[in-house]
Structure 1
Amino acid sequence: MGKLDGKVALITGGNSGIGLTAAKLFVAEGAKVVITGRNPVSLQAALAELGAEQARAVQGDVADPSSAVQAVNTAIEAFGRLDVVYANAGIAASTPLGGTEQAAFEEVLRVNVTGVFFTVQAALPHLKAGASVILTGSVLAKTGRPGNAAYAASKGAVSSMTKVLASELSPLGIRVNNIAPGVTRTPIWGQAAMEHWKQAEAAMSQSIPLGRAGEPEEVARVALFLASDDSSYIQGADIAVDGGAGSSPLGAPVYRKNA
């Protein structure tokens, strides 16, 4: 018996990184999944990995509410129900004060905040008691990393939105929780960082108490927990998956060396 037997999940940004890893894990645990993504090539490659019987793929941009409606309709038409919404899709961009165009700033907010809200709104008519909504935040919502105002603001907004949606959906028996990853080995860091990951990880790990970056599987397992009935009494939570970077920054290696 899988933890998600009989359940149907929508995972936005399910064509790479944490989203694809979670989709694979959900399928392995018995779920049917619908994944979305903007890149048609990686989307079809992901679908091939997941299997046509267990998954569907919908190309679209979460910043466009009609894409969310299309993805939800695909889930209902293909699998007859919707039990889990993992609003995982997001983008990162450098938006330094004094050197950022308005369009670049607003694009981050459209995808990371507006897109999340309208994904959940599109799914709501089909969610029943026991359903789980999972949002994706970030440790950067609270760490003050220079040059990341739009991204940090968007992920802070997701954390706040989690609480509001949990309040609104609690009377319906629907749970809403937020996963806040820290440094994780995914393509969001860009091609250069991925090609030289060991060096990039070594530098970033100096600020992580556990002394390493996370793997996408470690975040996906938290998503599985929240998607399953194992988390039936968890509501409105921010769950950090960051090696302690947010909760215990003074325990990071950079401080231990200088102690």
Structure 2
Amino acid sequence: MIEASDTGSTEAGREGRGRDFWPADESGRKRPSPKLLLGAAAALAAVVVAVVAVLVFTGGEDAPAAKTALPTAYTPDFNGEGFAEIASRSADARAITEGEAASAKELKAGAHSFKLAESELTGDCKSATWGARLQGDLAKFGCSQIVRSAYVSADKKYVGQFFVINMETVEGVKQILRDLQRETGAGWVTPLNPPGVPAFGAGFSAAYAKTYGHYAVITWVERAGGDKSTTLNELIDVSLVIEGAADFLYGRLDLASGTGAGQ
């Protein structure tokens, strides 16, 4: 497991990991790559339209336990445009490294900036998920790794989860995206809940899943503390920032297509 400390605080070294993880305001954060921002902007219009068709709201339910938490709203994107070169793991056989999994220490776009609170890379896909049907399909379609990362915003208003699921082929990715629809009851990815960060999954939340070749990329966001007054448009903006953590997959795409020199 990889954990990020609050290096922006002068108290971090003295107090260690026991204190609340709230990032200090900092300047000079790395901007997401132009390639990623272009893809995110193009996806936004499709997400807004798709949300109307696939949203499912839970109403006034009690806060779920993190073990079986579900997003209030979920929008899958099965397109996968631009990632045909790595539609199969055979074209991208190198396993995800811990360095890649935790490479996005800071994310910033527009008015939002986030800092990595914790990241975990596992080869045990069952341990990072819940639900027998989902876990069965992960095994059936060749899940080899799951990346889970937790982010918290600099203004302390939002928390986000970022997941990457390494599948054998794009068809397996599409099956997992179908499984994640609430109405299937198949299960979900278990969110990380780092010490000192508000518990995730208790309030109105939105998740967006996309097809990146043989990788399923999922962002899941909510207001810190589970504030149920959050609007869907607000969470769309936040999710696009969190999706910036998928930038390392563009490097893999470049390598597979022969346009990259390595990472």
TM bucket (normalised to shorter chain) is under 0.3
Q: What TM-score do you get using the length of structure 2 for normalisation?
A: 0.26
Q: Which has the higher strand share?
A: 2
The structure in which a higher percent of residues are helix is 1
